[in-house]
Amino acid sequence: MKRIGVLTSGGDNPGLNPCIRAVVRAGIHHGLEVMGIRRGYTGLLSGEVEEMTARSVGGIIGRGGTILGTARCPEFYKPRGRRDALRTLNRFGIEGLVVIGGNGSLTGALELWRAGFPVVGIPSTIDNDVNGTDISIGVDTALNTILDAVDKIKDTASSHNRAFLVETMGRNSGYLALVSGIAGGAEMVLIPEVETKFEEICHTIEDAYVRGKSHCLIIVAEGWRPGTQALARQLVERQEELGFSVRVTQLGHVQRGGAASAFDRLLATRLGAAAVKALISGGGGNIVGWVRSTITLTPLEEAVAFDKQPSPELVELAEIMEK
Ligand code: F6P
């Protein structure tokens, strides 16, 4: 193998640039040429490819976003899209590909692998719902951003004696809400994976008031139904009897920006270098993950077979701490 490609795809996060840097520098270290593909699978279809050098990734380890750009690309998932992608890879003499992304992007990588092309995936999504890794790139930084916001919201919530609903990202995944709820000292966490009745939520708020707490903080995952705003409307109607008045903060895309944490820089660098090694040594068709503090290869097929569920141990821990 002489020339490999790298792309970032799907929702961005602060671990992407450190990861691109690692792939490029590890590739060069192993005597490869490394081509950067712009805008994820969109650029792969349209042939937006350029050579990367050790210098072109200089100074990016602490920069949020992705220097390659990213996109969600529905066309890629049609047979014609995959054909055009393979055509671009052939045209530029690329013999192996590193795909950095979440479940959707890694499903795309699996399609290329099934078409006979050597691909290695790197799990990168703040949702932390990819199998085959304990933690994906970007999760730690997003959690730190959430905690910074939660600590600040608690200040104002306590001053005004209010209940706050704080919504974290996670389209189908409650991981960020669950873990930031534990680490942020929330009174309750609402996640799509666990059913919670409206009356239980009312009880938690009223109970916090009766027990003399200065505020009540509820972290809600984006994917929880019927949704944060609908819940807020229902609670506002009941706020007289609940004790606390209710406010809502949706953290939104701020969770995907900023400089990567130390943990994410290290994880991204380890996995980027490991992906290159895997490609060279015939480990195509896998993702490189971080399992029990060890780099591990897991077949792409298994990695994307289903969305990883939050561990029952964490769900229980959150409940124990919500007193
Ligand atoms: O997949 C990561 C994620 O941040 C989800 O948590 C969120 O639902 C989604 O991306 C938002 O995507 P977009 O930025 O395309 O609206």
**What's the CATH number where 164 sits?**
3.40.50.460
**15 in a domain, yes or no?**
yes
Q: What is the pLDDT of residues 163-178, one digit of tens each?
A: 999 999 999 999 999 9
**Catalytic residue check, 151:** no
Give the pLDDT confidence of 186-206 residue by residue, as tens digits: 999 999 999 999 999 999 999
Say if residue 78 is in the same domain as residue 171: no
> Residue of the nearest CA to atom 6 in ligand 1?
170
- Within 6 Å (CB) of ligand 1, which residues are found? 11, 72, 102, 125-127, 169-171, 222, 256
Residues 37 and 180 grouped into a single domain: no
Q: Whose CA is nearest to atom 3 of ligand 1?
A: 11
Pocket test for ligand 1, best of 16, 126, 179 (most atoms within 8 A of CB): 126
Binning pLDDT at 50, 70 and 90, where does residue 323 land?
A: confident
**Ligand 1 mean position, distance from CA 171 (Å):** 7
Which atom of ligand 1 is closest in space to residue 170's alpha carbon?
A: 6
| 96 and 157 both lie in a single domain | no
Tell me, yes or no, whether 7 and 122 share the same domain: yes
Task: Give the number of residues written for the chain.
Answer: 323
Cis peptide, bond prior to residue 192, ω within 30 of zero? no
Q: Catalytic one among 12, 84, 127, 140?
A: 127
Note whether 235 and 283 are same-domain residues.
no
Structural domain boundaries, residue 31: 3-138+260-303
Expressed in angstroms and rounded, the spacing between residue 172 Cα and the centre of ligand 1 is: 10
**Terminal-residue alpha carbon distance, the chain:** 57
* 120 shares a domain with 212: no
Q: How many angstroms is it from 240 CA to the middle of ligand 1? A: 35
- 134 and 52 in a common domain: yes
Give, using CA atoms, the residue closest to atom 14 of ligand 1.
11
Radius of gyration, alpha carbons of the chain: 22
* Whether residue 119 sits in one domain with residue 47: yes
Cα(209) to centroid(ligand 1), Å: 34
The beta strands (E) that lie in the chain are given as 3-8, 33-37, 49-52, 96-101, 119-123, 162-168, 188-190, 216-221, 245-250, 286-291, 294-299
Residue 322, pLDDT score:
87
Across 104-129, average pLDDT = 97
Return the pLDDT at 81: 93
Within 13 Å, how many C-alpha atoms sit on residue 166's CB side? 33
Residues 152 and 89 in one domain: no
Q: Tell how far the Cα of 178 is from the centroid of ligand 1, in angstroms.
A: 17
* Helix, coil or strand: residue 150: helix
- Classify 190 as helix, strand or coil: strand
Residue located nearest, by CA, to atom 7 of ligand 1: 171
Asked if residues 208 and 216 have their Cβ atoms less than 8 Å apart, the reply is yes
Mean of pLDDT values over 16-42: 98
Q: If you average pLDDT over every residue of the chain, what do you get?
A: 97
Given a cut of 90, whether residue 14 has pLDDT beyond it is yes
Query: pLDDT tens across 265-313, in order?
Result: 999 999 999 999 999 999 999 999 999 999 999 999 999 999 899 999 9
pLDDT tens figures, 207-241: 999 999 999 999 999 999 999 999 999 999 999 99
CA distances from 83 to 111, 116, 167, 211 (A): 11, 12, 40, 63
Question: Percent of the chain, pLDDT > 70?
Answer: 100
- What's the pLDDT at 17? 98
Same domain, 161 and 174: yes
| Cis peptide bond N-terminal to 226, omega within 30 | yes
Whether residue 192 sits in one domain with residue 269: no
CA quadruple 186, 191, 196, 199: dihedral positive or negative?
Answer: positive
One domain, residues 175 and 223: yes
